Chain A
C-alpha cells in the first residue's frame, strides 16, 4: 500500500477547507457565485490556525518540547498526509488541556514530566533529544493489549490519552483538511454546526 493512502481511514477529511492555508494563499480566490448580490454577506473567512501561531504557555518549556516530540513519534508525517508537527497538534493540545478539568491537566503534566525523567534516567538527555528507537522502551505501555478499564498506571493512561488526542487533533486540523483537499475528493468531516438557540 502506498504511504499516501495510509491515513485514509482516519476520521475524515473535509474536502474543502474553507480557507487556503498560508502556502496556498497566493492562489487566486474564485469569486463567489453570488458576488455582487446586494443582499448577503457571503465573504470568505479564515480560521486563526491558518494564519497565526497560537500563543499559549500552559506547559513548561520542557513539557512542551516533550509533547512536540511525543506527537512526532505517535503520528509522524505520512506521505502527503501531515502529521503532528505539520498540523500543530501539540500546540492545539496545550490549549485544549489548559481549558480541561484538573485531572486531565495533571495527567498530562505528570506524564510529560515522566517522559523527561525516564529519558534522563536512561540516556541523560531530555525526551525531545531521543530518537524514536531510544524512546521505544519508555513508550512500552502503548504496546499493551486494549482493555475497557485501561491501565491503572497514570503514565500508561497518559500515553494512551496522548495517542488518541494527537491523532484526533491531527486529522481534524485545518492543515490536514487543506492537505486532504489536494489529494482526495471525499467530503466527510462535514456536519451541521448548531448555533446557540435563544
Chain B
C-alpha cells in the first residue's frame, strides 16, 4: 500500500533547508519541524547605537556563559542556555552554541565556504590516521558545483589539491600594501595564500536562499516552535513512522506520521534526538567521534609600523585573506599530523588589553595605533577520537522535559602541538612582512567555540563502525536520514557548512531516486 505520509524534516538550517529545497522541487511533500520561530526583518530589529543599550554593549551578565559570539545587540537570536541546558565535567569545558530560529545557525554563520579535498575524504590513505570517508572528492564535487551558486560564493581559483576550486563569483579585489607585503613573506616561506571564499549578501541563510524556493513549490509546510521529542518506530517493519514534538509555548504534545524522516537539527541536536529515540545505534558509535576545529583566535596581533600615528598612506591598510593548509601535505614534516589554516586581516586598532599602560599613556598609545593592526587566527584539524563523545544525561531535562546531552570533548597532544606550531609560523610570517608583534599566544578556544561540531553520526562503509552509509542514510533504518555535520568522518581545517550543504543535496537526491524505485 502506498505511503501518503510526508517526509518529515527536522531542522531548518543548512541541512534541513537543503533537503527541503531539493525534495520539494522534485515534487515530494515535506513537513519541516523547527524548534523556534521565524524572524521578521521589519519587525524584529532596529538600528541602534550601542550607547542606547541598557548594558552599554556588555550584555546582560551571565546570560550566555558559553556563547562568546552573542552580543547585546543580537542576544535574542541565540538559544537560551537556561531553557536548553547541557552538562559537562567542569574540567572539560565545552561551548555548545545554538540558534533556534527558522534558518538555524545560517542566520549568523561567518559564511566562509571551502571545499574539502581527498586529503580529508581519504585522509587515512594519506597518513594512516583516523578513518576514510565512504565517498571521495569526486563523489561530492558535482554537488559543491551546484551549492556555490545558490550561496553566491566568491573567491579566487588557485588549483591547489588540498583546497579544490569551485564555481565562484571571481574575487578581483585589489590587496592593500600591508597585505601584499604579507603575501610576499608567505611566498618566500612557500606558504599558500588566497582570497577568502565567502557567501555574499546581507543574509546568506537557509531562510532566504533555500526555504522560499521550497515553499514556492507548494510542497513544503513549515511548523515553527515545534520542539521534537522523539522519532517513533514501527515495531513490525523496523522503519520509522513518525515524530512526536511539543509546542514551544503551549507545551501541547503532537505526533505527525512520516514516510521518511530526515534529521538536520545540527550535529549535536540530531545526535541527541537519535539517542533519546533509541534509534540507529547498532554500531555503538552514535555520539562518539565528536570533533571540531581548533581555533587560536588572534594567534598573533601585530602592528604595521608605517601606519603609526595616523601616517598610513592611502592603500596601506585594510583587507585580508586566507592561508590554506600547508603542513604534512607531501611528507611527514612536524611533530603533529594534518594541518591548519589561517584567516588574516589588516586594519583596526589593537585591543587595549595588549598594552601595558593606563591613563593618558594608554589613550595616547591607542591613538598612535589607530588602524595599524594586523591579526591572524588559526583554524586547525582535530583528529576524531572515540573517547570524545556525547551521551544522554537522564538526570537533567530541558524546558520541555527532553533529556539533555552530556558532552565530553578534550583536545589532545596533536592539537596542542599544531596550535604551537601555528603561533611560531604566524610570528615568522609577520616578521617577514616587517610587522611588529604586539602579542602572541597558542591557547586554543574551548572545544565547541568554533561552532564546527561534527562527527557524532559518522558515515562509513561498515555498519559495525558507523551510523550512516555513504548517502547519509542510517545503516539500521532505511527511511531515516541524517544530513548535517554529524555525518562527517573528518573535517580538515575548512569551515564545514559548504560540505554539509553538498552532502544534504546529494542525500536528498539519492532519497528521491530510491523512493521512485520503491526502495524507500
Contact = CB atoms under 8 A, between A and B. Distances in A.
Contacts of B51: 14, 17, 47, 172-174, 176-177, 189
Interface in A161-198: 163-165, 167-169, 172-174, 176-177, 189-198
Interface stretch (B86-94, B326-334, B359-367, B378-386): B359-367
B369 A9 contact: yes
Interface string B47-65: 1111111011110111000
Contact of A96 (B48, B61, B71, B360): B61
Given A1-B364, A6-B364, A9-B369, A197 B101 contact: yes
B439 A146 contact: yes
A177 B52 CA distance: 9
A7 B72 CA distance: 23
A163 B358 contact: yes
B368 interface: yes
A65 interface: no
B104 to A, nearest CB: 14
Contact of A139 (B74, B77, B352, B358): B358
A167 B352 contact: yes
Interface stretch (B37-45, B116-124, B283-291): B37-45
B356 A100 contact: no
B90 to A, nearest CB: 13
B44 A190 contact: no
Interface stretch (A29-37, A69-77, A112-120): A69-77
Interface in A99-149: 99-101, 104, 132, 139, 142-149
B353 A197 contact: no
A144 B61 contact: no
A8 B366 CA distance: 8
Interface residues of A, number: 57
B441 A190 contact: no
A66 B412 CA distance: 45
B46 A193 contact: yes
Contacts of A174: 51-52
Interface string A1-42: 100011111111010111000000000000000000000000
Contacts of B366: 6-7, 9-10
Nearest to A187: B49
B441 A104 contact: no
B184 to A, nearest CB: 28
Nearest to A191: B73
Contact of A99 (B49, B60, B71, B354): B60
B46 A195 contact: yes
Contacts of A1: 309-310, 364, 367-368
Nearest to B65: A101
A132 B57 CA distance: 29
**Among B58, B60, B71, B354, residue most surrounded by chain A Cβ atoms (within 10 Å):** B58
Given A6-B367, A197-B76, A160 B48 contact: no
Contacts of B363: 6-7, 75-76, 78
B5 interface: no
A191 B352 contact: no
Contact of B359 (A75, A99, A145, A194): A75
**Among B44, B45, B354, B367, residue most surrounded by chain A Cβ atoms (within 10 Å):** B367
Given A75-B363, A194-B44, 16 more contacts: A1-B367, A6-B363, A75-B359, A76-B363, A101-B62, A142-B357, A146-B354, A160-B353, A172-B58, A173-B51, A174-B52, A176-B51, A192-B73, A193-B53, A196-B76, A197-B76
Interface of A: 1, 5-12, 14, 16-18, 47, 73-76, 78, 92, 96, 99-101, 104, 132, 139, 142-149, 160, 163-165, 167-169, 172-174, 176-177, 189-198
6 contacts: A7-B363, A7-B366, A10-B349, A172-B58, A192-B48, A198-B249
Closest 10 CB pairs of A and B: A14-B49, A9-B370, A148-B441, A100-B61, A177-B51, A172-B56, A9-B349, A6-B367, A148-B443, A193-B48
